[in-house]
Every structure is written in C-alpha cells, then in structure tokens.
Structure 1
C-alpha cells in the first residue's frame, strides 16, 4: 500500500472580499440602490406611481424571487445573477448584486458597469395600489419584489449599481 503524503504549496493569493466571491467567482456590487421614495412613470402603462418611504421601508425585504436580469428579459441568457441582502437603508431599498460571469452577456455587463457605461437598475415588482385623486397618481399600498434588471433608462433615476 502506498503512503499518501500531505503537501502544502505556498502560493501568494490576493483576494478582495468586497468585489469577488471566492466560491462562485461572482462580481459583487454592494449597496446598489434599487428604489427610492417618489413618483415615477410606470414603463408599461406610463401612469405615474407613488412609492412612499413607509411602504418601501415595510416591504424592502419582501422578495418572492431575487433574480437579476438584463432589460427585464426572462430569457435564460439574460439572467445574470441575484439580488442578495435586500434592505431599507439611507432612504432607499438597497441590495447587493451578485453577477455570475458564466455567460458572455454577464461578462459584458460586468465590463460595461466597471467602465461606467451602464449603471442603472429597475426593480421588478407586484403591487397592491389605489388611485389618489389629490395626488393625481397611483399610490402603492404594498409591494412584492420578484427581481431587478440592469437597464439604461430607469424610471427611478436614483436607482443605480454604484
């Protein structure tokens, strides 16, 4: 029977825990702003929708799924990661974005973000709401987040990756 020997190879390893996950090689963007209180035009209906600070604070952690997509696409190729650790902080719904560089789309998105060409986000939500005739807009009563998308033209101009 052959004897097994333990071997230790000392290779210097530098790792930045804030930007890359060891286990998955995911690119991590901490504290991305997903939604802030305010009145924004719904991209589908073009109706103005008001999100109060109280509602955002209450439902910031109410996520049924946490996928990160490109341009709200449900295509397999455009699913590039996850929103992790959603929270209400500093007057905004925030989360940490994990982008997995497994596809060319994900790698291209990381390059666009890191080079300042793309920096916007748009939340994917289901809401219960009502029309407020005094505010002349739809007012959100509760929110269920089901994802987030990297976009070029967000309704909420404060929503950004970094």
Structure 2
C-alpha cells in the first residue's frame, strides 16, 4: 500500500515519515487509537498554547487528542479528533486537516505488522509557512513519542 500525500511531492512544504513494528496484528485505526491513548502533559500544553496563538489568526482550535476505542469506527467525512477521515480500511487510515493557511494529511499504513505514519503539508500563505517552522521541528519527536504508546498495547 502506498502512502497518500496532500499534494504532489514537488508541491509539498513538509513531508515526514516514521514507523514501528507492531507488537501484535492491528488495524490502522487500532494503531491510531493506541498512539493517541496517552498524551504526555507537555504535548497537551503545546496544543493549548497553539490554540491560544492561532485563535488570534482565526484558526480553528484543535484541542488535541482524546481517548477513543477502535470499536467506534468513524466513517469517511467524520471527525477523528481534529482531523477529517478521508479513507479508512484495516490497512490504511487517511486523515486531513485543512484551513485557509495549510492542508495536512496523515496517512497510516499497516502492512505485515509494520506501521508507517506519513505526514504531508502544503502551505498556502505566510502564516501557514510561519506556523510550520516550529511544528516542523517538533513533529518528528512528537510522532516518535506517540509511536512508543503502541509498545504498551
């Protein structure tokens, strides 16, 4: 299965991929629920700070991640935390978040007990590019920390 991106590679402003070997067979949604099951305090504070700053630029609050069980399977078009579900199968979960400043796509692929998480971003203006400077720096360590939650399953 090939990861999906929010735009053609040449048009992306940010692209990050990370992954982990799954401790047991699981669906892409189960992996997402495991990853977001325990949010460290520093990340919850970072989400709150992001919302305070972004509110001044009429950017919707995201609030962060909330506990969810994989038995609550979302449909395409429904919200999953601050994302919209674009596609869902046992092997792939595609999530997007779009506003006037940028478009984000997170693609989670499960293949033979390997999970790959690919995040792609396209910025539309100066605010989007400025927003991605700190987010781009923090994104890798955040994903790596969240992938460690899967080991606790």
In which range does the TM-score fall when normalised by the shorter chain? 0.3 to 0.5
The structure with more strand, counted as a fraction of residues = 1
TM-score (norm 2): 0.36
| Max Rg structure | 1
Scaled by the length of structure 1, what TM-score is found? 0.34
Higher relative contact order (CA 8 A, sep 6+): 2
Q: In proportion to residue count, which structure has more helix?
A: 2
